[in-house]
């Protein structure tokens, strides 16, 4: 299958491309910074040109300003929403059969400066979305853009979105800085660093596998499904049932459900519908 990957040079994109290529996909990498084809997909004409030139059967849309507050709010929202619209628009009107859109777990609203209380734990895809910053709002808009094109194209194009938790690239297990600027070891040794994101994480290679499974399964899924993608444990040395209430008191009524090494985010839907479960975690990957 010819699969076009936007944002192919990013932390997540590199692992997605590697997984797809290893599974026999003919991958076309698109990235403003380079890749197989350098392109600015915030320009609708360029998005159409790329789709028309390569005629992919599937598109994986990862390109975005990838972290909150790394750019101005206006630029983050404008860039991410325009990218999602342009990619979906061009894909639908050039014969693409399958589209996977990257969203974010931040859409549920944790870390809000005025406080955030979950409706329940662990969090799943049915939890209410409560974005509070430009990045999380842009990711929810990307999901809603996808849903709009589902309603427009019907079953002619199969869509899905996934919400990858804090992505850890392979080199970061060896001590390279993560997207937050801290190392994984620092996040483990200083729990307050990971508390704001509820200690979520995901190995980039596991994320790549999820994307590959999702692309291949799409025609057999209900159109427009959304999936959390999380490691099978939390990025914390202590059980979240004990740790969360001390750092985020508002989670106390719900934290007791997170026994043992259980994470705050559930990937049960991906396991149920796709047969996917993360294989890697900090206990197996962190270099001593």
pLDDT in tens, 195-249: 999 999 999 999 999 999 999 999 999 999 999 999 999 999 999 999 999 999 9
Model pLDDT, residue 36: 77
Who has greater pLDDT, 264 or 180? 264
Three-class SS of residue 113? Answer: coil
Q: What is the pLDDT averaged over residues 50-69? A: 96
Pairing state of beta strands 158-164 and 225-229?
Answer: parallel
What does the DSSP 8-state code read for residue 277?
-
Convert the pLDDT of each residue in 66-103 to its tens digit: 889 999 999 999 999 999 999 999 999 999 999 999 99
CA 104-179-112 angle, 5° bins: 50
Question: What tokens were used for 68?
Answer: 């909150």
Bridge partner list, 226: 161
Superfamily (CATH) of domain 2-174+200-234+264-281: NAD(P)-binding Rossmann-like Domain (3.40.50.720)
Residue of 42, 123, 53, 122 lying closest to 87 (CA atoms): 42
Question: Residues of the chain with pLDDT > 90: what percent?
Answer: 95
How crowded is the C-beta side of 67, counted as CA atoms within 13 Å? 12
Model confidence band, residue 146 (pLDDT cutoffs 50, 70, 90): very high
Distances in Å between the Cα of 243 and the Cα atoms of 36, 114, 115, 120, 229 are 44, 21, 17, 16, 22
Given a cut of 90, whether residue 288 has pLDDT beyond it is no
Model pLDDT, residue 126: 98
Question: What tokens were used for 243?
Answer: 């740790």
Model pLDDT, residue 153: 96
Q: Where are the beta strands (DSSP E) in the chain?
A: 2-6, 26-30, 58-61, 98-102, 158-164, 167-168, 202-203, 225-229
- Give residues with Cβ within 8 angstroms of 270, minimum separation 6: 162, 210, 227, 228, 229, 276, 277
Model confidence band, residue 33 (pLDDT cutoffs 50, 70, 90): confident
Q: What is the pLDDT averaged over residues 167-173? A: 96
Residue of 166, 167, 236 lying closest to 195 (CA atoms): 236
Q: What is the pLDDT averaged over residues 93-115? A: 97
Model pLDDT, residue 35: 65
CA 52-54-57 angle, 5° bins: 95
CB neighbour burial string for 89-107, b if at least 16 within 10 angstroms, e if fewer: bbbbebebebbbbbbbbbb
Model pLDDT, residue 175: 94
Domain boundaries, the chain: 2-174+200-234+264-281
Sign of CA dihedral 198, 204, 210, 216: positive
Mean model confidence pLDDT for the chain: 96
């Amino acid at each position: 299958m010819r699969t076009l990957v936007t944002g192919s040079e990013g932390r997540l994109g590199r692992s997605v491309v590697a997984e797809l290529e290893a599974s026999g996909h003919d991958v076309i990498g698109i990235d403003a910074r380079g890749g197989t084809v350098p392109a600015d997909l915030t320009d609708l004409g360029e998005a159409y040109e790329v789709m028309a030139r390569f005629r992919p059967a599937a598109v994986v849309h990862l390109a975005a300003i990838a972290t909150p507050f790394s750019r101005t709010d206006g630029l983050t929202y404008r860039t991410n929403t325009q990218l999602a619209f342009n990619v979906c628009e061009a894909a639908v009107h050039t014969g693409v059969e399958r589209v996977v859109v990257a969203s974010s777990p931040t859409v549920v609203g944790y870390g809000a400066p005025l406080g955030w209380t979950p409706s329940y734990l662990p969090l799943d895809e049915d939890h209410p979305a409560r974005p509070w910053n430009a990045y999380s709002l842009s990711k929810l808009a990307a999901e809603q853009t996808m849903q709009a094109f589902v309603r427009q194209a019907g079953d002619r194009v199969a869509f899905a979105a996934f919400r990858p938790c804090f992505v850890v690239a392979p080199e970061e297990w060896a001590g390279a800085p993560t997207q937050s600027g801290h190392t994984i070891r620092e996040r483990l040794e200083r729990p307050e660093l990971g508390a704001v994101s509820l200690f979520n994480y995901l190995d980039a290679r596991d994320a790549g596998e999820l994307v590959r499974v999702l692309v291949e399964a799409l025609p057999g899924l209900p159109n427009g499904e959304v999936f959390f993608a999380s490691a099978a444990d939390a990025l914390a040395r202590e059980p979240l049932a004990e740790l969360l209430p001390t750092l985020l008191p508002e989670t106390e009524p719900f934290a007791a459900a997170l026994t043992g090494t259980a994470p705050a985010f559930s990937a049960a839907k991906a396991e149920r519908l796709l047969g996917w479960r993360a294989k890697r975690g900090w206990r197996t990957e962190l270099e001593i």
